[in-house]
Each structure stands twice: as C-alpha cells, then as structure tokens.
C-alpha cells in the first residue's frame, strides 16, 4: 500500500472514532487514544492491536497522532541525492529520526522517534480534525 493510500484510509478511520467522541472534552479525547484503551475499544484502528503490540517500545504510547505532523512525503520525490530520490523527510529534523537508504530511494525512518506519541506534544498541536493537524504532511 502506498503511503498516500494509507494516509487517506487512516484519516477516515480516525474520523469515525472522533464522530463517536463528541461528548468528550479534548483531554478526554486524548486519553481515549491511549494504546491500552484503543486495543480494547478500537481493535481495527491499527493492525498491531490484534497482537497487543506497540509500534514503539515505550510505556506511555498515545495513538492520536499516528502518523506524525512533522513527516513530509512526496510520491514524486523532493530531490535527487546522487542516484537516489528523497521521498520523505522530517520537517523538524528530529535527532530521534533516521533514514532508510536503498539503491534508488531515501525514506524517513521514524522507528526510533516517539515525538508524536507523547501526550504533551499532542496537546500542543491538538485539533479534533486529524486531517487539519496533518495538512502539511502530503506534499504533491
């Protein structure tokens, strides 16, 4: 699945949950998206939930911002670096981020970064529309 397809499908799944939570205040919405609650009440939101697995090895994982508003992707590539095309990058150059480099492509590797999974960060950028928070992610 391309990142764009995943992004569009994830936006729909997020919106369906948000439509159920209109009675909750912002803090309660963020708490609802804690991993432990999501595994129990929203098992189809993430494929890892079925195995009770986390995408990052951290005790307090919040899934409201899967994915990250600082991620940038362009299916046509941002730039050439030698023979390789840069398809994705981190807008804040997080020191916890890394790169996947293959023969022809460079992709952002967020495996070691938990910036968007921290509740104080989610509170900082919070909006009830996931697409609004993510509005700068797809660059076409």
Q: Which residues bind ligand SF4 (CB under 6 A)?
A: 68, 70-71, 90, 92, 94, 96-97, 108, 110, 113, 115-116
Bond from prior residue into 68 cis (ω within 30 degrees of 0): no
Instruction: Work out how close the CB of 2 gets to ligand SF4 at its nearest, in angstroms, rounded to a whole number.
Output: 18
Q: Which of 28, 81 has the CB closer to ligand SF4?
A: 81
Q: Which of 20, 136 has the CB closer to ligand SF4?
A: 136
Torsion of CA 14, 105, 61, 58, to 10 degrees: 170
Q: Which helix (H) or strand (E) holds 16?
A: helix 3-20
Instruction: Work out how close the CB of 22 gets to ligand SF4 at its nearest, in angstroms, rounded to a whole number.
Output: 28
Partners of 138 in the beta sheet? 73
- Other C-beta atoms closer than 10 Å to the C-beta of 55 total 16
Q: Which of 85, 94 has the CB closer to ligand SF4?
A: 94
CA distance 76 to 29: 35
CA distance 62 to 12: 18
Instruction: Work out how close the CB of 16 gets to ligand SF4 at its nearest, in angstroms, rounded to a whole number.
Output: 24
Instruction: Work out how close the CB of 25 gets to ligand SF4 at its nearest, in angstroms, rounded to a whole number.
Output: 26
Q: Which of 62, 70 has the CB closer to ligand SF4?
A: 70
């Amino acid at each position: 699945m391309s990142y764009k397809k995943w992004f569009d499908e994830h936006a729909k799944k997020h919106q369906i949950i948000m439509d159920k939570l209109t009675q909750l205040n912002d803090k309660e919405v963020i708490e609802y998206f804690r991993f432990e609650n999501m595994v129990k009440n929203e098992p189809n939101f993430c494929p890892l939930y079925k195995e009770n697995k986390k995408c990052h090895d951290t005790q307090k994982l919040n899934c409201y911002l899967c994915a990250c508003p600082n991620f940038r992707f362009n299916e046509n590539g941002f730039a050439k670096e030698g023979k390789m095309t840069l398809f994705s990058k981190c807008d804040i150059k997080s020191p916890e981020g890394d790169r996947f480099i293959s023969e022809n492509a460079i992709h952002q590797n967020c495996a070691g970064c938990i910036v968007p999974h921290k509740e104080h960060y989610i509170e900082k950028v919070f909006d009830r529309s996931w697409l609004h928070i993510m509005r700068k992610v797809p660059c076409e």
